[in-house]
Amino acid sequence: MKATKIAGKGNDLVVELSGVNFTQVNTLRRLLLNEVPVMAIEDVEFKKHSSALYDEMIALRLGLLPLTTDLEGYTLPSECSCEGAGCAKCQITLTLAAKGPCVVTAKDLKSKDPKVKPVFPDTPIVKLREGQEVELVATAQLGLGKEHAKWSPCLAYYRQKPTLTIAKDADAKEVLKALKHSALDAVAEKNGKLVVDETKLALCESPDAYEDASPAFTVDFANDEFILVIESWGQLSPKALLDAATVRMQASLKEFDKLVKDVEA
């Protein structure tokens, strides 16, 4: 498998995968969604709370806050030496204390580790009126998307890599006019000839729209080359997600190979 970056900025990444089939690229997608661990709040202990919302509502909102994740500093509770009892290797506490009138936001959560904090600090949690207050201690830990949506690190999807062929007798002016009307920009005129921008074509969500725009185009799709799109929620960078998913894939393959050998023995 070979991965080549096509585009990407911030929490978005688009890569071209070559030398793979549908099964392999879909396995990678599922690993990205379900098997890359990220931080999320699991338990909330309220010391004081007099807002209009139930404790459970506040806890639910806290649990769904994306938290920046340090995979090198923490481990999954199921893989920790404490065997899930809870320790500094697999858990971290965040505190919150606020009095009204105010709007409590994610930045009011104080973390003991600067590497673990809300991705979107301005996310509102609860509105407090005069005399109302909230004080709590939250415990965050690593988890997997297959266990709960709050541990889902990204949106990931793929499509086959398209190839656009232009008819030799195509009228450049008529084709460009049709493309302009259809808002398709992967084809341009250069020295009187129509040329395809492969990057823009790869980024096109519906490349077969070119065939609808003009009979001068033919679109084919590869069976061993794919465009993979990763949209991170911010806990980890898209590259870190891809690296972690690859490690998980290799570990799963080794485990599967061991199981097969045990059966054969």
CA–CA dist 253, 265 (Å, integer):
18
CATH number of the domain residue 8 falls in: 3.30.1360.10
* pLDDT recorded at residue 113: 93
Average pLDDT of span 149-157: 96
Check residue 110 and report its DSSP letter: E
pLDDT tens, position by position, 93-130: 999 999 999 999 999 999 999 999 999 999 999 999 99
- In which domain, by residue range, is 91 found? 38-150
pLDDT tens, position by position, 23-42: 999 999 999 999 999 999 99
Residues in CB range of 59: below 8 A, 6 or more apart? 41, 44
176 is a domain residue: yes
Does the predicted model carry a pTM greater than 0.85?
Answer: yes
| 121, 128 contact by CB (below 8 A) | no
Q: At residue 60, does pLDDT exceed 80?
A: yes
Do 160 and 137 share a structural domain? no
**Residue 180 backbone phi and psi in degrees, to 5:** -60, -40
**Residue 260 backbone phi and psi in degrees, to 5:** -65, -45
* pLDDT recorded at residue 265: 66
**CA 45, chain centre distance (Å):** 29
Among 9, 13, 75, CA closest to 38: 75
Instruction: Quote the number of domains for the chain.
Output: 2
